[in-house]
Homo-oligomer: A and B are copies of this chain.
Amino acid sequence: MPTVRVYVTLKPSLLDSAGRTVTDSLQKLGFDEVKDARIGKVIEMVVEPYDEARVREMGERLLANPVIENFRIEVAG
């Protein structure tokens, strides 16, 4: 059964305020080596049968908001 991961991330030009909070919090804890953190989500699905075009359509119609987000698809066997 193919496991498919769809990674959804905010477009790079947009301010990621949750990511900014994570960066600040990590630095406050002493992790000064963290320069920039951005947060995305990953949807892991069992898709049988797998068809990349259809998974792309899922991303466009439901999983991501194409106005502000990018997504990429990865198949994990």
Contacts and interface: CB of A to CB of B under 8 A. Distances in A.
A41 B43 contact: no
A42 B45 contact: no
Per DSSP, are chain A's interface residues mostly helix, strand or loop, or mixed?
Answer: mixed
A56 B25 CA distance: 15
A23 B26 CA distance: 34
A1 B33 CA distance: 11
Interface string A39-77: 111111111111100100110011100000000000000
Contacts of A63: 22
Interface of A: 1, 7, 9, 19, 22-23, 25-26, 29, 31, 33-51, 54, 57-58, 61-63
